[in-house]
Amino acid sequence: MPTLTNQMAGTQPGEKMAAYDLSVIIVSYNTRDVLRRCFQHLDDAATGLALEIIVVDNGSKDGSVEMLTAEYPHVRVISSAVNLGFGAANNRALEQASGRYIILLNSDAFLRPDSLQRAIAHMDSQPEVGLGGGRLIGQTETWQPSARCFPSLLNEFLCLSGLASRYPKSKFFGRFDRTWSEAMEPAEVDWVPGAFSIIRPDALKKVGFFDEDFFLYYEEVDLCRRFKAAGYKIQYWPDVVIVHLGGESSKTVSDAVVSRAGSQLTLWRMRSELLYYRKHHGGSVFLAYLLERLWYEIRAAKNGMGGSQDRKNKAAESRIIADLMKRAWKETRGGRVSPPRPW
């Protein structure tokens, strides 16, 4: 059984007394088994810390709420009848969080020992940081993008064209995921993935919670952009290590087209992309739309001329993706409106 403590947390001189060192917020959608593993690792990482744990269940049908009630009675559970999306679900918990710092943690993200203590120490020593992230790795220690640059038309082209993956050590071609950088060096970055982040509550109050127009994808990019616009830094710390499975919730969604990697709901990603570009780049959203749509239409035409079954399959896949982008454009009215939730 969990041994997470609930004693009063220590505070820095002159700092307002907080009931907890950390408020840990986890959004779960049909991830009961990995959620249990998440708690096991959280328990190991919480030694000496007072944690407030809030789980927002996004309408799971796999018994997640029942498991939490039976096995983790000290955890506060916010249960939604429908899938609110990532940002909106986190906002429900953020309204209640009272910790000195806030941790956002995916249910399929497993903390390494000392990761929380290190994250707190970094935030304490760097008051200019509004939000920080750690080093994400796979179960076999494989590298995952953990410190990234903001989306742009150039970055989109480099990723779509494959140039980013072909020349990962180039500062120019590898710019979006910073694949050229040394993973073990801390850095100030544009944004960090939402699988793990630590947030300064006072800074969050100034910039506001997640924009709920983003149902899934781009919500953490938008939030980090607002932090930086308000004068706060976004920081990457490699000694804060998190094992991240990735795509566990999306695997349970059977009625949407999923990318080849099997972890990205393509239509949802496109909707959010258009919303993001309209919000932060205005009319350039049309160029972002054309870039991806035309890329896949050209790819479909090129592979359609081949005789092999593999090329035919690639052509069919590209046509589907191009059609999805046209659909996303129509459904968001060119990035102006967010479709009704749940997507």
In order, the DSSP letters of 135-181 are EEE-TTS-B---SBPPP-HHHHHHHHHTHHHHSTT-TTTTTTTTTTS
CB atoms near residue 101 (< 10 Å): 22
The single-letter code of the amino acid at 145 is P
| Cis? peptide before 342, omega within 30° of 0 | yes
Contact residues for 165 (Cβ-Cβ < 8 A; gap 6+): 159
Tokens of 152: 């742009």
Q: How many domains does the chain have?
A: 2
Q: Is the dihedral of CA 80, 85, 91, 97 positive or negative?
A: positive
**108 in the same domain as 66:** yes
**121 in the same domain as 52:** yes
Residue 159 located in a structural domain? no
DSSP string, 60-71: -SSSHHHHHHHH
What are φ and ψ of residue 63, in 5° steps?
85, 20
The mean of the pLDDT values for the chain is 91
Last-in-domain residue among 221, 251, 281:
251
Tokens of 229: 């616009």
Residue 4 has pLDDT above 70, yes or no: no
**245 in the same domain as 102:** yes
**194 in the same domain as 48:** yes
What are φ and ψ of residue 189, in 5° steps?
-130, 180
Beta bridge partners, 28, equal: 57
Residue 205 located in a structural domain? yes
Q: Which of these, 75, 50, 49, 51, lies nearest to 64 by C-alpha position?
A: 75
Report, as an integer, the average pLDDT of 229-257.
Answer: 79
- Residues 122, 196: contact at Cβ < 8 Å? no
**304 in the same domain as 324:** yes
**260 in the same domain as 247:** no
**235 in the same domain as 104:** yes
- pLDDT score, position 284: 97
Residue 210 has pLDDT above 80, yes or no: yes
**141 in the same domain as 84:** yes
**268 in the same domain as 127:** no
Q: Which of these, 169, 139, 136, 141, lies nearest to 238 by C-alpha position?
A: 136
Last-in-domain residue among 227, 251, 275:
251
Cα separation, 332 vs 279, in Å, equals 12
Last-in-domain residue among 251, 282, 309:
251
Q: What's the pLDDT tens digit per position in 96-125? A: 999 999 999 999 999 999 999 999 999 999
pTM of the model: 0.89
Q: Which of these, 287, 291, 129, lies nearest to 299 by C-alpha position?
A: 291
Residue 162 located in a structural domain? no
Residue 164 located in a structural domain? no
Residue 258 has pLDDT above 60, yes or no: no
Q: Could you tell me the CATH number of the domain that includes residue 28?
A: 3.90.550.10
**206 in the same domain as 124:** yes
**106 in the same domain as 29:** yes
Residue 173 located in a structural domain? no
Q: Find the domain containing 323 and state its range.
A: 253-331
**192 in the same domain as 310:** no
Q: What's the pLDDT tens digit per position in 286-330? A: 999 999 999 999 999 999 987 898 999 899 999 999 999 999 999
